[in-house]
Every structure is written in C-alpha cells, then in structure tokens.
Amino acid sequence: MNKKFIVILSLWLLPILVHADDVANPEMAQLLQNDMQEYSRIATQTKQNVDYMPYIISAWSSNELSQLGVNTLREALSLVPGVDLSIGTVGTTVPIFRGSNPFAVGQSKLVIDGVVVNDKMTGGYNQFLDMPVAMIQRIEVVRGPGSLLSYVNGYSGSIHVITKANRDDGLAVDDEVFVELGSSEYKMAGFVTSYKDNEFSIASDLFYKVHDQELPVALDRYGNGGDSQQWLDNYNFGVNARYNDFSVKGRLSDRESGASYGQSFSLSEDESDYFDIENNYIEFGYSHDISKDIIIELSLGYMELYRRLQNKVVPDGATVQTPGGPVVLPNGKYFLAEIDEDTFYERIEFQVSALDSHHINFGVHAYQTEMAKKEGRSSTDVMQSFTSYDILIDTPRNMYSLYVDDLIDLSEQTSVQIGVKYDHYSDVESQASPRIALVHRYDNENIYKFMYTHSYREPSWREQYLAQPSFFSSTLDIQPEQVDAYELGYIRKIDLKSHIKINTYFLSNKEQIHAQNPTHTFQNSGDNNLYGYEIEYKNEIENNDQIYFNYSYVDGENVADQKANSARTMVKSYYIHKLNHAFSVSAIAKFVDEKGRIEVDLRDNVDSYTLFDLSANYQNLSAKIDINLSVKNIFDETYYLPSPENTYPDDFEQEGRSVLLTLRKKF
C-alpha cells in the first residue's frame, strides 16, 4: 500500500516538479533579459560603449582627471584631441575644434546634465569653464557636428558634462567634500551630497572659488603695458531631484572676474573693472514608459543670464575716432553694460524601440528668448555722468525644432543612423540638418565608422543686433554658418584596456562669420575647407600604469584663405604610474604647434609651446580620502595665445608655473 502510494505520488509530482522548473526559469530568463537591456542602457548613457556609437567621442572620468591634477573643465578640454583654446573679448576662453573658425564663439555647445548653456549674446559658455572636475562625474566631447542628444546641434563639437549630482550609471551618489589651494591665492571649496529612498532622490552640489591672478601684458593697442586683471570670484550651486517619473534640475551660478584684456582689447588700469555673468536655470522633467518599447520625455525650463560689465575701454589722454573726427579724451572712457537674457524652453520626445532593430527618437524642441535688458552706458568723466543707449536692437528670438533619428541595426555587426533636424527661427533663416552615419564592427577588434553631417550655427546677438558701431559692429541680415562634415573613423581594440583610434575628416564650411575686417564688422566672410586627422592611443599596463597619447593634424583654411589662430599640429599625452595601492604619480605633456595669422596681420606666427605638468596622488581607500599635489607648467614655459590684429601686438601671455593642492573626502 505504502509503495503503491509512493509510486502514485511520484508520478503525480514529477510533472509538477518539471513544470515548476519551466515556470520559474522563464521568469529568471525574463529578469536576465531585463538586466541585459538595463546594462545596454547604462552603457549607452554613460558612454561605456562609446566605440560603437556613430560619433567621434572622447570620454573622461572624474577619477582619471583628478589623478592627473586636472582641476577644471577648461583644463580637461585642453587634453581633447584637436581642441585648441583661444581668448575672446574680456578674456573669455573659446575652445576651437579642429581649427574651425577661431573667431566664432559658439561653434561648440556645452551641455550640462542635458541642458544647453550657451548664451545668446555671444554663443559662449565661459561662465561654466571653471567648474571643478571634483564636481563632475564624466566629460564627453564629440568632435564634429551633431551631438549625442538629438535636439542639440553642435557645429564643430559638443561637450557633455555629467555632474556627480546627476550621476546616471545607476549607482548611488557619494557624499563628498573637496578643497583646492593653489598659486596666486587660488582657493576653492565645495561638496556633493545626496539623499535617496525608494521613490525619491535628491542630489546637490556647490562650489565657491576665488583666484587673485594677474598676467603680464607688454603692450596693448594704445601702447600701454602692465598686468591684466584675471581675478575670479565664482560659485555654482546645482540641485537634481527625482520623484517617480518626475524630475527637477536647476543650477545657480555667478562668475565675476577682472576685465582681463578688455571689452575692446585694451588694458584697463582701473582694478575695480569687472565682468560678471550670473546664469541660473531650472528645468522640470517627466519621463514615462508608455509601454515596454516606448518612452516619453517632457521637459520645461527657464534660463536667465545677467551680464554686467564695467571696463575702462579708452585710457586717459587717448585719441579716439568719431564721426566728427579725432577726439582726445583726457579722462579716458568707461563702458558699462547690463544685458539680460530670458529664455523659456520646452521639449517633448518619444523614444521608440518597438520595431525590430530600430531605435527611433523623435520630438519637438522650442525656445523663446528675449532681451530683457540691453543697456549700455559710457562715461568720459570717470563715471560722474553717463550717456545711456541700447546696445542691441530689440529682437526676440523664437525657435522651434522638429527632429527624428533612427539607429537601425542592419546586423549584429552593422548599424546605420539616419536623422534630420528642422529648425525654424523667428529671425534667422530656417535650417535643416540631415545626418547619416554607419558603424561596422568587422570583428570584436576592428570597428569602422563613416559619418556625414550637415549642421549650422545661428548668429549670436552681438553678430546680428549691435545697435550702434563701437569696437565691433554687426550685420542685421547675417546668415548662419553652415558645415558639411565627412568623417571616417577606425578603432583597433588591441586588448581589453588598450586601443588605437584613428579618424580623418573633411569640413566644408560656408558663410563663415567673423569680424576680421577694418571696421570690425561681424559678417559672412566666405567659405573654406578644413581637413585633418586625429590619432588616440590608450593602454593600461599591469594594472599599475596607464598611458594616453593623442595627435591631431588639421590643414586647409579657416579665415579668408588662411589658416589663422589655430595650431596645425597638437600632441597631448599623459602617464599615470601607481606606486602602490595608495600612491601614484602622473605627468601630462601638451604640445601646441605655432599658429598663423590672418592675411593682413603681418606679425610673426604665434610660437609653438610645450607644457609639462607633474602630479602626485595619495588615495586612502578605507578613509575615502584623496590628496593630490600638482605642479603645472613645471618648466615655467612662457607661452602665448593669439590676439586679434591691431590689439595686443605681443599676444596674450599665459600663466607660468603654478602649484595646486587638492583634498577630497567621500563619506
């Protein structure tokens, strides 16, 4: 009886047991597929799989940069292949990508946590370039037009900054404090902090820095020498919060500095002169999975930018040209500016992966910008009385953009990206920007890329709307700059941690905008072609050493049949050697070739230069403390960035040797 019962029971249970396996395991298989999707998403979002994406990208992590003693976004950009730095008005830094129009400010876009922060007045983003690396999780730099975000159109490049407070790799945000002390009374302190529970998370960051720097000037355009005031007083406060599908992110920033090389390229002896940009934004977001294959994203934002300037633009006793003839100004001339930009922006985007092998993004992006304030004042009696006027012709700029792109996996080895973006402006000719890119993974070691992109840069307000001639003048019916870019890339993965990347490009630039003419008038100044190549090599050796090297070459013309103000060749490299688990040393070497001038500028070329930085890093993993001591420009090389014609005859001398101490503590 018992035996019979056991046999019957076994026969009854067996299928149940077998079936139980079939039921439980498919659930696990589904979880496995979810994991695969999740890691693909994170890898794409955090550019872990950057080599397989249809762009030429360099990605840098904060940890890597910190070990090298690189402490600001500006300094990090100086390591990127093909990127050179130049100086614009009031000492603002202008990154130049692949030698493309060095006199245009907004050819590259800066995107912080998904928010484009280029201003409308100049197109620049200098106000964020002192952001400390300690606050940044990752920097991704796309060289060439297009952008990692469908709604952003870079012209020559785009810089994507992901702050630690907006960490997107699925890991918790570490609480962290950091302090930096350096030469010329440089001081900086800040923190990153976060809170998270199941449905709600919030993270915040803050830094405040001061720097009392002066740089020597031999002669300005009035024949005066002295020191340019480069002092800096800068803070930045950011918040990112998320509750279920809703998010809000905002940033308050203020960067006040000395007048540097001046608004109109003359040296001011008044040390109270200043240049202040306050830039604040807030963005509300909503992201929802409509279905397994469709995601909707909505965002609504507001950005304000206040620009304040006081600058003695003409020295005492100088002669200036007026419509009535030359006039001597015994007390010189002050120029004060108050320009406010208000921008509302909106975006709705759908991300669809419902069709086999297709990843489709489409959406609408719009902004409405107005010149909330555009007042200029000048004084020829040491600011006892002023003449007021509008700096800009009041022309609000509204834009809406329709975009769609589809990343199609033709096979496991080959994918194609096809996209187009149509931008309609209220005050500039509408533009369509098509793009087609192909990535072919011949095998796991050899990857090939081809990209064609058409893009444009809309004129900035100062290029289009200056109300009256001063140092610069503008052209009301100016046309956007346009580029057709053809890029080829090859990546050879030597092993898991070493690779060589080679890419070559041809840029057909049209309607280039600059003011390199006798009247300093911003105008479309013809077409030109640039071509070149870039090589990157990276290797980690026995877990103890890391080497990185890049070489870039660009030739052709960027200004009126000349290649001016940008280096033909650049070499940038670093080496990190771990002495043990706690100590490492590193070195950076940067070579920038000589730079030519525009045709009418008869000065000698700007000299080439080579800079070496050395750093020592101490890391205590258990105490979560990092200490870095770095000496920058260790050989105290005297080097110069180019000045425009008839301004500073001896160009802009840059900082010599400096020391920086950084302390970081995580909790």
Binding site residues, other proteins, CB under 8 A: 21-22, 24-26, 28-29, 31-33, 35-37, 39-40, 42-44, 46, 48-49, 51-53, 169, 409, 412, 415, 439, 441, 444, 494-498, 537, 539-543, 545, 547, 549, 551, 569, 571, 573, 575, 589, 591, 593, 607-610, 635, 637
List, in sequence order, every beta strand (DSSP E) within 442-527: 446-457, 481-495, 498-510, 513-514, 523-524
Nearest to 339 by CA among 388, 374, 369, 309: 374
Taking the complex as a whole, how short is the minimal distance between the CB of residue 644 and other proteins, in angstroms?
24
Nearer to other proteins, 103 or 609 (CB): 609
Q: Is 526 helix (H, G, I), strand (E, B) or coil?
A: coil
| Cβ atoms of 422 and 434 closer than 8 Å | no
**Closest to other proteins by CB, 21 or 599:** 21
The CB-of-142 to other proteins minimum distance in angstroms stands at 16
Separation between Cα atoms, residue 111 and residue 139, nearest integer Å? 10
DSSP state of 260: B
Q: Which is nearer to other proteins, 38 or 394 (CB)?
A: 38
Residue 93 CA neighbour count, 13 Å, CB half: 21
Q: Tokens 């001061």 label which residue?
A: 210
Residue 507 vs 571, nearer CB to other proteins: 571
Q: In the bound complex, what is the minimum distance in angstroms from residue 49's beta carbon to other proteins?
A: 5
| Shortest distance in whole angstroms from residue 314 CB to other proteins | 36
| DSSP state letter for 9 | H
- Per the CB < 8 A criterion, the answer to whether 320 and 333 are in contact is yes
The residue type found at 228 is: S
How near is the Cβ of 53 to other proteins at its closest, in Å?
7
**Min dist. Cβ of residue 40 to other proteins (A):** 5
Helix (H, G, I), strand (E, B) or coil at 557: coil
CA–CA distance, 303 with 623 (Å, rounded to integer): 40
Nearer to other proteins, 25 or 244 (CB): 25
Nearer to other proteins, 216 or 223 (CB): 216
Q: How far apart are CA 313 and CA 264, in angstroms?
A: 6
User: C-beta of 474: minimal distance to other proteins in Å?
Assistant: 38
Q: Residues for the chain: how many in total?
A: 667
Q: Are 176 and 618 in contact (CB under 8 A)?
A: no
The nearest distance, CB 662 to other proteins, in angstroms, is 22
- Other CB atoms closer than 10 Å to residue 11's CB: what's the count? 9
Q: Between 136 and 513, whose beta carbon lies closer to other proteins?
A: 136
* Backbone angles phi and psi of 583, in degrees to 5: -110, 140
Nearer to other proteins, 338 or 409 (CB): 409
- What does R_g of the chain's alpha carbons equal in angstroms? 27
User: Which structure tokens are listed for 528?
Assistant: 């030109």
Least distance (Å) from other proteins to the CB of residue 655? 15
Beta-carbon contacts of 639 under 8 Å, excluding residues fewer than 6 positions away, are 592, 607, 609, 611, 653, 654
Closest CB to other proteins among residues 123, 596: 596
- Check if the beta carbon of residue 554 is closer than 8 Å to that of residue 534: no
